[in-house]
A and B are shown apart, each in its own frame.
Chain A
Amino acid sequence: MNTSILVAVIVYEVLLIGGIALWLTTRQKGHENDEAEFELGGRNLPLVVIVPTLALTVLGTAHILGIFEMSWFMGATTMWFGLANAMALAVVCVGTGIWARRMGMTTVPEMLEQLYGEKVRIAVSCVMAGAIFGILTLETQGLGIILASMTGWSIQNGAILGGVLGVLYVIVAGIREVGWINLFNAILMYVSLILATYYIAQGLPNGNFSSVVDYYTSNDAAHMLTIFGPAEIMLTFALGTVIAVVFSVPASQLILQVAMSAKDEKTVRNSLWWAVPLNGLFGVFIIVLGLTAKSLPEFHALGPKLAAPTMLIQMLPPWLAVMLTASFLAAVLSTFAMTCLGPATIFSYDIYRRIYRPDADELHTAKVTRISIIVLAAVSVAVAASLPPILAAIPWLLSWLIPVLWLMAAGFLWRASKASAALTLAASWLVNMLWTFTDLPLWMGLKSVPNAYIVLGVTMAVGVVSCLLLKGEQGYFRKARTSFGVQEGLG
């Protein structure tokens, strides 16, 4: 089934990954022992690499398979999932990413140690690595499903092939490799999406989307054609997604590792103008294709999961189907690669080097990171097929990171209190567990309230009150400004 498309897609990925890995290996000879070369590209990556990597790191399975499926039920309001990620990127480019680059650290827990001490670093390392690993299993499932749908293989076999490609995406030259591959894939992605949308429109009656609009208006579903859908969906899905994503993703190692790799703060700040639209507009094409598939009887019968992918394979010319599938696969592979690299870096820097081998040099640490990537990928491939569809687990996973963002914001800009940090983490993580695994929401009559709302509420309440009441120091940047002012005054 679709063997020629599959072969062409895999040949493209292997040639691109292999070519860039080879180019970088020759170029980087002699730089292997530079500071954090593998994990952070020597903190010297240019704008052309940072932009697509920021955009593609938070663009994965959920953006493709998730939006195809969700738009079937909610229509264009699903766009808020993509916009929430674009908002999170904006927070990175004007806030957390700048702080991360300025601190000159390698991991988020390492930054937190500067503010709150070693215990907070270790606690956040373990929880953040676990949460990102959860996202990794979702990406692995996505890879398995995409390849399985093309080949007729089992999801397990698809996940194995996807896992191998995903590891190749990062294992040779680390984040520098991911970045350069992403640059080519981002170009391919937009070219193929624009062409696919054009070709699908040409294949419809009248050569445009008017028949799709007629379908939804005649079925009393015109609200599905606007991103500002019914108030109920806006308040539950749209606002819930925005809160869950915007208050967690900007604190994640996954995305901040990219910002830490930028050659300077200006590069992170300037990425805003390109990375935000690049990421945010992707959803428009996916939603339009999803809505079109639902309106066509022959694909409508296949249901929300299969309608759009089948329509694309059947209605597009083979060369374009190859390009589009390759770009979808690349989007998931780039996220897979970063979700492996993030927790692997946390392990090698915050656990291995911090606790067991403080004397380990860059080459040795990079070796540990590489081994961790392979172990993480192997475990995620092993469990991906046996897990239930875990899209629903994403808000729960992201909620673990909400108090981490608060600790960063408070510690940098306001007050850094070790006791308050410990209390805020403990309270918000406990509530996240209770809200998921007990009947607490039912007892409180708040069954439909998502984790993100509750965790954000507890984080803010406990964080603000304890920060005001407990002993602490002035925020990192406030302190730096004050001492700079004092020095200037003395001078």
Chain B
Amino acid sequence: MFWNILGEAVLVIVVLLVVSSLAIKIQNGKKLQ
């Protein structure tokens, strides 16, 4: 049970971090322009 819930939460957080890092990349790209 613990590992299942932890795994699901980690999955959501990884997706969140990937989306956030894409947002940072887009911001940096705009700055360079």
Interface residues of A (CB under 8 A from B): 76, 79, 82-83, 86-87, 90, 93-95, 98, 197, 201, 209, 212-213, 225-228, 269, 272-273, 276-277, 280-281, 283-284, 287-288, 291
Contact = CB atoms under 8 A, between A and B. Distances in A.
B17 to A, nearest CB: 6
A284 B17 contact: no
Given A212-B1, A227-B5, A287-B5, A94 B24 contact: yes
Interface string B1-33: 110111011101100110111011001000000
- Give the interface SS of chain B, mostly helix, strand, loop or mixed: helix
Nearest to B33: A481
B20 A284 contact: no
B13 A277 contact: yes
A227 B2 contact: no
Contacts of B17: 90, 272-273, 276-277
A76 B1 CA distance: 10
Interface of B: 1-2, 4-6, 8-10, 12-13, 16-17, 19-21, 23-24, 27
A212 B1 CA distance: 8
B12 A83 contact: yes
Given A94-B24, A273-B17, A276-B17, A291 B1 contact: yes
- Give the interface SS of chain A, mostly helix, strand, loop or mixed: helix
Nearest to A279: B13
A76 B5 contact: yes
A213 B20 contact: no
Given A87-B16, A276-B13, 14 more contacts: A76-B8, A79-B5, A90-B16, A90-B17, A90-B20, A95-B23, A201-B2, A226-B4, A226-B5, A227-B12, A269-B24, A272-B17, A280-B12, A284-B6
A54 to B, nearest CB: 13
B26 to A, nearest CB: 10
A98 B19 CA distance: 17
Given A83-B12, A276-B13, A281-B13, A197 B2 contact: yes
A464 B28 CA distance: 26
21 contacts: A82-B9, A83-B9, A86-B16, A95-B23, A98-B27, A197-B2, A201-B2, A212-B1, A226-B5, A226-B8, A227-B8, A227-B12, A272-B17, A272-B20, A272-B21, A276-B20, A277-B10, A277-B17, A280-B9, A281-B10, A287-B5
Contacts of B8: 76, 79, 226-228
Contact of B1 (A209, A272, A273, A280): A209
B25 to A, nearest CB: 10
B1 A225 contact: yes
A94 B13 contact: no
Contacts of B23: 94-95
A20 to B, nearest CB: 30
Nearest to A272: B20
Nearest to A283: B9
A283 B21 CA distance: 23
Nearest to A93: B20
Contacts of B10: 277, 281
B8 to A, nearest CB: 5
Nearest to A95: B23
Nearest to B22: A94
B10 to A, nearest CB: 7
